[in-house]
Amino acid sequence: MYEALPPTTDVPAFFDRLNAQGTRSFRFFGGFAFTTSPTSVEVVEAYAKDAETAYAFELLPVASSVAELQDQLNAQGARGFQWGGPYSVGGQVRALHRKDNNSASTYTYAVLASPADSAGYLAQVNVQGGNGYYSVGGGYMVGGTTVLVYQKDAQGSATYGYEALGQPGTDADFLAQFEAQGARGFRFKTGYVFSDGTRLLYEKDLSQSATFSYQNLQPAGNSSDYVAQANAEGAKGNALVGDYALPSGQIRTLYIRPANCTGLLCDTRSLFGF
């Protein structure tokens, strides 16, 4: 189930809403903007509910160095909070952290310098994934350094594998790549620009035999239609991925249908896996 609410105006109001929504089992996963006319834009805060649980949120100052980020993440992770990246509200940026109050999970983090090319990325991310560390988001800039952030559930046993494929030149080939990778258990993560070109990143939970298929729909023009579409697809078992530009430049709203899937890769997630 999805909801889209008008944006809050300041950090205290955002904090209060996050936790009010969390008590209703809704977790925040991003801000969305819709161009409703040539001169107007509708901005909303989007929430998803896919489990009967309760969430607690905290908003912390954004770390200014790699060491500070590492320390902040591990301190929060030891308390059961997952990092959701930065979010701007009322002109101020805060680091989002979320805890599932019905889970005993705690988390450890590794913050490593991001390799420049795709080969270096794959070497790093697959070593970390093999040790149970999930790659959170793409490259993240902190203190002038681009890093990759990895998260490990101390109570979990999953390991992760990653692939980085070239971007096909046609929309049909692009969507066919999604399906082929999904059939092998790889979920699309994001596109990423390396020094050796743009790659499409895919991730797989190596501890299970999940598969993924995709729907691509015409984007909705406003938040009401967007939520209606997302809830209709959710009722069919399709989780919202979000809008993505195909090679032709056409924007499509992507949905993913997992099969034989449990855990982190199975539902609606922001780029930060939040």
**DSSP class of residue 260?**
S
Query: Structure pTM?
Result: 0.93
- What confidence tens digit (pLDDT) does each residue in 13-67 have? 999 999 999 999 999 988 888 888 888 899 999 999 988 999 999 999 999 999 9
**DSSP class of residue 185?**
T
Any bridge partners for residue 247, and if so which? none
CA separation for the pair 22, 224 (Å, rounded): 21
CA separation for the pair 59, 221 (Å, rounded): 31
What does each C-alpha distance from 266 to 26, 149, 211, 259 come to in angstroms? 16, 20, 10, 8
> Which amino acid, residue 241?
V
Helix (H) or strand (E) holding 141: strand 134-142
- What confidence tens digit (pLDDT) does each residue in 61-113 have? 999 999 999 999 999 999 999 999 999 998 999 999 999 999 999 999 999 99
